[in-house]
Amino acid sequence: MDFGKLPSIEKVDFTLPIDHTATLPLLNKAKNEAHIPQIYIGCPVWSTKEWVGKWYPLTAKEKDYLHYYSRQFNTIELNTTHYRIPDQATIQRWYETSEPGFKFCPKWPQQISHEALLMNTESAIQAFGENITSLNEKLGVSFLQLPPHFSPQQANILEHFIKTFTPKVPLAVEFRHPDWFKSNPEVEETFAMLQENHVGTVISDVAGRRDVLHMHLTTPTAMIRFVGNGLHPTDYERIDSWVLRIKSWFEQGLHTLYFFVHEPDPNTLAPELAVYLTKQLEKHCQMDVKGPSPLPQIIQGSLF
């Protein structure tokens, strides 16, 4: 993910902001609802050839990467759906290839979100919705990334989209226009509308756009897109801060966490940080967390 990428992170303040004032009341209300806390950790891709031999077996074929990925992680940030709507055969193959309990979190197609700006795309919306719901119990939360120029002035378009087209598809919205992170009546009304319609928000943690780290939950499901910097020491410090915040959220009533690890320089490093995240969550949250484990390395022995 190139969004928010900086040539240098030397002067970036990576401190997590405090929670939005609406987050705690939401979680406290959700705490009284029957639920089993769940944690899902994943990456934005599964087709990384460099993982063969460390995270995938040496014998792994490209067609089997998803199978081996789903043995290491229990969710995927499914970005391929942003570029084309998968057909039923593809959906069925994903379903059959992945492990039980795995969750796909598909990104809404750009033809709907970026090209049409959520308007006059009924056929595409219907096709996407029908196909991804074929994932059945393996469908996690889909996420709608709004383009950078989609501002609060277009909130009525978003509201119409949500109320009209998405009742059967679990959804979270990712905002990028800076005005969504300013306190004003239009923004507060939109976030309240999301909460009323059980639509979540995506929280992104990236060096160059600290405003998108808004900490405003509208459902008891948190979706975090974390962008590291090549396993820089601050990546681990940021994970430590996130683990403490997540622990607090679960104590207050959070039901489900989706945490997606990006390491774009290069993305081959994402599992390394996911290992650290998993261990820290298990330690502090006292929960069983599925995360990656490096495969045992075969060491060539000597006859002498």
**pLDDT (0 to 100) of residue 125:** 92
Maximum CA pair distance of the chain? 77
Closest CA to 203 of 9, 19, 12, 45: 19
Per-residue pLDDT of the chain (304 residues; tens, 9 = 90+): 677 678 889 899 999 999 999 999 999 999 999 999 999 999 999 999 999 999 999 999 999 999 999 999 999 999 999 999 999 999 999 999 999 999 999 999 999 999 999 999 989 999 999 999 999 999 999 999 999 999 999 999 999 999 887 667 899 999 999 999 998 999 999 999 999 999 999 999 999 999 999 999 999 999 999 999 999 999 999 999 999 999 999 999 999 999 999 998 777 999 999 999 999 999 999 999 999 999 986 654 444 3
Domain membership of residue 3 (yes or no) is no
CATH of the domain at 132: 3.20.20.410
Asked if residues 125 and 167 have their Cβ atoms less than 8 Å apart, the reply is no
**pLDDT (0 to 100) of residue 59:** 96
Domain membership of residue 220 (yes or no) is yes
Domain membership of residue 119 (yes or no) is yes
DSSP 204-220: EE-TT-GGG-----SSS
Domain membership of residue 141 (yes or no) is yes
Domain membership of residue 82 (yes or no) is yes
Domain membership of residue 294 (yes or no) is no
Domain membership of residue 49 (yes or no) is yes
**pLDDT (0 to 100) of residue 304:** 37
Q: Strand order in 221-227's β-sheet?
A: 103-106, 75-78, 38-43, 256-262, 221-227, 200-205, 171-174, 142-145
Domain membership of residue 16 (yes or no) is no
Domain that holds residue 97: 23-285
In order of 90, 107, 125, 267, 292, the CA distances from 80 in angstroms are 11, 8, 16, 16, 22
Beta bridge partners of 39: 257
Asked if residues 200 and 223 have their Cβ atoms less than 8 Å apart, the reply is yes
DSSP 234-294: HHHHHHHHHHHHHHHHHHHT--EEEEEEE--TTGGGHHHHHHHHHHHHHHHH--------P
**pLDDT (0 to 100) of residue 277:** 98
Closest CA to 281 of 234, 251, 242: 242
The tally of domains found in the chain comes to 1
CA count, 13 A, side-chain hemisphere, 180: 29
- Write phi, then psi, for 182 (nearest 5 degrees): -105, 145
